Amino acid sequence: MTNFDINKFKNLNTESQRYTRRISFLNSIGIDTQHIEKTVEQAAQNFTGHFKSFVIYGEPQSGKTEMMIALTAKLLDFGYKIVIILLNDNLQLLNQNLDRFRKSGIDPTPVNVCGDIGDGPRKYCYSRPNKT
């Protein structure tokens, strides 16, 4: 009788593969991820250095949200406990982005945290809740 090892068939460490799963999914639906992968890798290198924040900007429909989903997955894979994404005060855009992040399947599911920051306009962020 041979010993059966379930670990050969079941990957128990999927939590550290969010980024790989996201890129594989995008490729499977025909999305070219070359620019996303390049940008995420460059941003990830900045985080391993002395930079702890940066700004993403671009034209509408240029891939910013998908790149941020992939980068968030990469940062969670690196072990970051909280990823904060600040947006302007456009509620429609906030809801659209939050919906896309939630549908992406990143674990844990993003949450919406709202509040005033100083005397400036209202800011919104997504954060990763602590696991209990």
- Residue ranges per domain, the chain? 14-127
Write out the two tokens for 127.
Answer: 């954060």
pLDDT digits (tens, 9 = 90+) for 3-51: 766 555 444 455 689 999 999 999 999 999 999 999 999 988 887 777 7
Higher per-residue confidence, 121 vs 67:
67
Closest CA to 68 of 113, 101, 42: 101
Write out the two tokens for 49.
Answer: 């250095």
Confirm whether pTM is higher than 0.95: no
**Residue reference for tokens 């947006």:** 87
Q: Among the residues of the chain, which ranges form H helices?
A: 18-28, 34-48, 64-77, 91-103
Higher per-residue confidence, 42 vs 55:
42
Q: Are 112 and 126 in contact (CB under 8 A)?
A: yes
Q: How long is the chain? A: 132
Q: Are 78 and 47 in contact (CB under 8 A)?
A: yes
Q: What pLDDT score does 110 carry?
A: 80
Cα dihedral 90→61→82→102 (10° resolution): 90
